[in-house]
Amino acid sequence: EDQVTQSPEALRLQEGESSSLNCSYTVSGLRGLFWYRQDPGKGPEFLFTLYSAGEEKEKERLKATLTKKESFLHITAPKPEDSATYLCAVQDFQGAQKLVFGQGTRLTINP
């Protein structure tokens, strides 16, 4: 059974203080690893997909990396508007593109 564990559960940073969020996973065969951002009371917003170990994707202050066991979401010089819950999910080669999600990391950036 596919499993995803995210850490930490919550993270508070000062504006400009860089850090990383972790997503550890076990999957029978990784089709893709997905990062989403979720604001309170809203649906998740797609950020990145990573398909193979060593792959990296960047978007503004965010950078996602992937190894065979985990993924990191690095946030560089964050701003208060980066405050959100960040969700990680994996997809295997079985079934109709189903995603298995972690519980998320709630990120707060203080000005």
Partner 1 sequence: SQTIHQWPATLVQPVGSPLSLECTVEGTSNPNLYWYRQAAGRGLQLLFYSVGIGQISSEVPQNLSASRPQDRQFILSSKKLLLSDSGFYLCAWSGGTDGKNIQYFGAGTRLSVL
Residues contributing to the site for partner 1 (CB under 8 A): 4, 6, 31-32, 34, 36, 41-46, 49, 87, 89, 91, 95-104, 106
Q: What whole-number distance in Å separates Cα of residue 91 and Cα of residue 82?
A: 25
Instruction: Kindly state the smallest distance separating residue 111's Cβ from partner 1, in Å.
Output: 24
Instruction: Kindly state the smallest distance separating residue 28's Cβ from partner 1, in Å.
Output: 16
Instruction: Kindly state the smallest distance separating residue 35's Cβ from partner 1, in Å.
Output: 11
State phi, psi for 4 to the nearest 5 degrees: -135, 130
In degrees, to the nearest 5, what angle opens at C-alpha 17 toward C-alphas 21 and 87? 25
Nearer to partner 1, 29 or 111 (CB): 29
Cα atoms in the Cβ-side hemisphere of radius 13 Å centred on 27: 28
Nearer to partner 1, 28 or 103 (CB): 103
Nearer to partner 1, 34 or 66 (CB): 34
Instruction: Kindly state the smallest distance separating residue 64's Cβ from partner 1, in Å.
Output: 14
Beta strand 30-38 with 19-26: parallel, antiparallel or unpaired? unpaired
Nearer to partner 1, 29 or 95 (CB): 95
Buried/exposed code over 53-74 (b: 16+ C-beta within 10 A; e: otherwise): eeeebeeeebbbbbeeebbbbe
